[in-house]
Amino acid sequence: MASGTLLELQSPNGSQLSPANATSCDHATEAWDLLHRTLPTVIITICFFGLLGNLLVLSVLLLPRRRLNVAEIYLANLAASDLVFVMGLPFWAENIWNQFHWPFGAALCRVVNGIIKANLFISIFLVVAISQDRYRVLVHPMASRRWRRRRRAQATCALIWVVGGLLSTPTFLLRSVKAIPNLNVSACILFFPHEAWHFLRMVELNVLGFFLPLAAILFFNYHILASLRGRAEVSRTRCGGPEGSRTTALILTLVAAFLVCWAPYHFFAFLQFLFHVRVLQGCSWEEFIDLGLQLANFLAFINSCLNPVIYVFTGQLFRTKVWELYKQCTPRSLTPMSSSHRKEILHLFWRN
């Protein structure tokens, strides 16, 4: 099987090494040639906007040089995770441009892919943490005063980074550069030493990396929406106006973006597992899964560009203050935003 996914390019016992298998099913040659020509440009575009958006988020949060509150801590960590994530993409753009010939050596093969894999989990887990934080604020506002502490948020983020690093350990250890004689390339592949690794990978990737986080996100946001509807019925004037509708739109956008960006990748990754255990067979399935995985990879990466839009730029007032902050940060004046002004912005952002 081709298994040509950017995140999980692998070799099951040395038998499936190539991104586009040239030995069995080669009916999709034109499609692979098109991907080799176009995907590097797509990756660089994603990288550019991801760098721009997440650097802007970090600058807005950090330039005022004030202590970050709970909401800012989660946002800053999410932006940092997405920033690190997209920084590894140019290596893969060059790799695909060279038709999966890895020119950067074994060390960067492990490091780049390990970092990408770690931040894949970190970003998803941080989305869960942000949903949980909003759940406490909007559904249990009184209890949230006791639970929402800066140190607790910092510890949660530190734990997420550690867990993401641990889940990426197989990638750091098992990635290597292997020669593929029939394609005349040396590919950066994930070499599984035993068949059992395929099942473990499926559990890690699909269950820990998608279904459980998705269940948590749906749980938190369902109760948030239910709470907002209840408040609107009690006091339509106070909670049923633009404020409630903006919060609802933000939550629905969050869930929709998560599903649209990540569901296709995990769907094709699960099909890849079924193909490996021979539940699915044939060249048609092989080509469908291989090409689908390539396209789904980059759709998943777009989420790193959308996160700044969803969590920051959805609020019109926050966009205005971003521009005001950059007007202040000129060579003539580097005076940061006042504490009261900053708290007002963040309060309105997290409530709209």
Select from 296, 132, 302, 157 the least CA-distant residue to 218. 132
**What pairs with residue 185 in β-bridges?**
180
When mean pLDDT is compared over 30-34, 216-220, 314-318, the highest value belongs to: 216-220
Q: What is the pLDDT of residue 16?
A: 40
- Tell me the pTM: 0.79
* Backbone angles phi and psi of 338, in degrees to 5: -65, 155
Looking at 110-245, which runs of residues are DSSP E strands? 175-180, 185-192
Domain ranges of the chain: 10-322+330-351
Could you read off the pLDDT of 179-232 as tens digits, one per residue? 888 778 888 887 777 777 778 888 888 899 889 999 999 899 888 888 877 766
Mean pLDDT lowest among 37-46, 174-183, 203-212, 327-336: 327-336
CA distance 194 to 216: 32
Q: Is 233 exposed, middle or buried (0-12, 13-18, 19+ CB in 10 A)?
A: exposed
Whether 74 and 153 have beta carbons less than 8 Å apart is answered as yes
Could you read off the pLDDT of 94-114 as tens digits, one per residue? 888 888 889 898 899 999 989
Q: What is the pLDDT of residue 48?
A: 92
Q: What's the DSSP call for residue 204?
A: I
Grouping H, G, I as helix, E, B as strand and the rest as coil, residue 176 is strand
- Quick check: 13 pLDDT over 50? no
For domain 10-322+330-351, the CATH architecture is Up-down Bundle (1.20)
